[in-house]
Amino acid sequence: MANPANIQRLIVSGYTRPVRTVLMFRIGPAGPAREFLGRWIAKTPAGPGETPAGEPVLHFAFSWPGLAHLLNDEGSLDTAEGRRQMDPFFADPTQRPDSPALAEQLGFIGPSAPAHWWSGQFTTASIDLVIVGLFDSGEQKGRCLDALRTDAVGAGLVELELPDREDNALSGATPDGGRVHFGYRDGVSGHVIDWNNESRPGTVSPREFFTGYPNDDYPTSPFRPGPWQDFARDGSYLGLTWLYQDVAAFEAFLRDNAAAAAPHANGADPEEWIAAKLMGRWRDGSPLVTHPDRMPASPDLDNEFGYADDRAGLRCPLTSHIRVTNLRDQKLSFANEIRFPKGPPKLIRRGFSYGPPFPGGQDDGVDRGLVGLFACARLNEQFYTVLRWMQKTGFSDDFDQAPRGQSRQDSVMGNRGKPGARTEANIPVSNGPALEFGLRDFVHVKGVAALFAPGMHALRMLASDRQT
């Protein structure tokens, strides 16, 4: 079963380091690039645990072209075979997130279309290597980025810069007080991984997140035993997502609908009540299904709750964000029960906020949002499935309880331009017909890439260090 000591720490543990950056590169000649990796992977911790302060932490992920380029002369790994064996939604260029085959179904249309991604500076296809840096301070970040970038240039790597951004990269920090730009407390939920394969209640199989251990329930790629499965062992596929948050539009939505919500809010602040109904948690992090009437006196961050006795969504609407993206015990449709014999798809989520807090009032035109990294063992069945479900809620028969429920959207994340989608938030209430609030776009996607974060053994293989 999965070996935590072989897994990059970013995937198995969150970090408390507040300052974060994502750098993206195109790889030049493979030899110097491997040597560059060899010098910098010493800063990549493995396995669960705390990393002492004082040194930067770096984590590495690659696109398929980047991996194939670095492994082209690796005798045991035939890249043509790797193209066939790795997840097709990672290795097949026609199945990239910005491809015509996938973009529309994943909600990447209108202002979120790939034509608008990466500030117009490059395309997802250009990305070979992503380095995630985590730092104790801005000063530490500055020193590390200077050294790393100088070395990268010498190694023939071309940085894919974002000149309109801090550090010319995706830079940001863990949010102040743990609150993201829409005001919600973040980092509340997580998964307990069943490392010892004991099937303990409330735990998740490592096969949900780490490749190299396929079975019938989790037929991960590479599926076939051999060099590619060995290479991929203890790695994760990673969805990198850059997301703009339109806080002005979100706050205006809460204000505009407060009067209609007030008679149903049980004395709670109606704007906070609407915010909770959209997210599925009060903004202090307390789950709505457990605290349906009002925010508790102190935040309830218990993650052990479900929706099985709230099928109609009276406590937590079916289209609330946390319910769409993590169904817990909600019943799936027949086809999805067949797809997911071990329950709804799950993701390990890491990320940070960027941009200053919204000062309130009118839109200030400032770019602010989230950079997310979503780890899983199967890109299409997990990362892309959740993205699809946010755009159209046809995944559970429970949605039949709302008018045109199969065509609803994630109340926070849905792209309202999705053809055929019903773009109202349906909020059941106990004292009358359900409220229907016309939703608007609260987020725009500014870039997505499908990557692979190798295990430590594979990372050393990619670097100039070929010791096993």
Partner 1 sequence: MTHGLNLTLPIKQDADTLARLEHLAEIFETDIQPAIDRALRESQLVHFARVLVIDNKYIQVITAYDGDHQEYTEFFRRALKPIFAQIFSLADGAPDTDDPAAFFDFAKKANIRSLGRAADDAKDMEGHPAGWLFSAYDHRPVKELLPRLRDDAA
Binding site for partner 1 (CB under 8 A): 84-89, 92, 94-95, 99-105, 216, 219, 221-224, 333-336, 338-339, 341, 378, 380-381, 384-385, 388, 394, 406, 419-420
Say if residues 375 and 236 touch (Cβ distance below 8 Å): yes
Nearer to partner 1, 89 or 184 (CB): 89
Residue 387 Cβ vs partner 1, minimum distance, rounded to whole Å: 11
Residue 347 Cβ vs partner 1, minimum distance, rounded to whole Å: 17
Give the separation between CA 427 and CA 316, rounded to whole angstroms: 8
Nearer to partner 1, 94 or 467 (CB): 94
Residue 232 Cβ vs partner 1, minimum distance, rounded to whole Å: 12
- The DSSP H or E segment spanning 182 is none
DSSP secondary structure letter of residue 318: T
Give the separation between CA 345 and CA 175, rounded to whole angstroms: 26
Only one residue has tokens 């299409």, namely: 380
Give the separation between CA 169 and CA 130, rounded to whole angstroms: 11
Q: How far is CA 347 from the centre of its chain?
A: 7
Residue 12 Cβ vs partner 1, minimum distance, rounded to whole Å: 25
Q: 229 to each of 64, 85, 223, 235, 375, how far by Cα in Å? A: 15, 8, 7, 10, 18
Q: Residue 191 corresponds to which tokens in the numbers above?
A: 């998964």
Nearer to partner 1, 171 or 385 (CB): 385
Q: What is the DSSP string of 75-122?
A: TT--HHHHHHHS-HHHH-GGGSTTSTTTTTTTT--GGGSGGGGGGGS-
Residue 356 Cβ vs partner 1, minimum distance, rounded to whole Å: 38
Nearer to partner 1, 5 or 335 (CB): 335
Cβ burial 38-58 (10 Å sphere, 16+ → b, else e): bebbebbbbeeeebeeeebbb
Judge residue 109's burial from the number of C-beta atoms within 10 Å of its C-beta, 0-12 exposed, 13-18 middle, 19 or more buried. Answer: middle
Nearer to partner 1, 270 or 454 (CB): 454
Nearer to partner 1, 112 or 336 (CB): 336
Nearer to partner 1, 33 or 402 (CB): 402
Residue 98 Cβ vs partner 1, minimum distance, rounded to whole Å: 10
Residue 338 Cβ vs partner 1, minimum distance, rounded to whole Å: 5
Q: 234 to each of 3, 79, 156, 379, 384, how far by Cα in Å? A: 7, 19, 29, 15, 21
Residue 215 Cβ vs partner 1, minimum distance, rounded to whole Å: 10
Nearer to partner 1, 245 or 336 (CB): 336
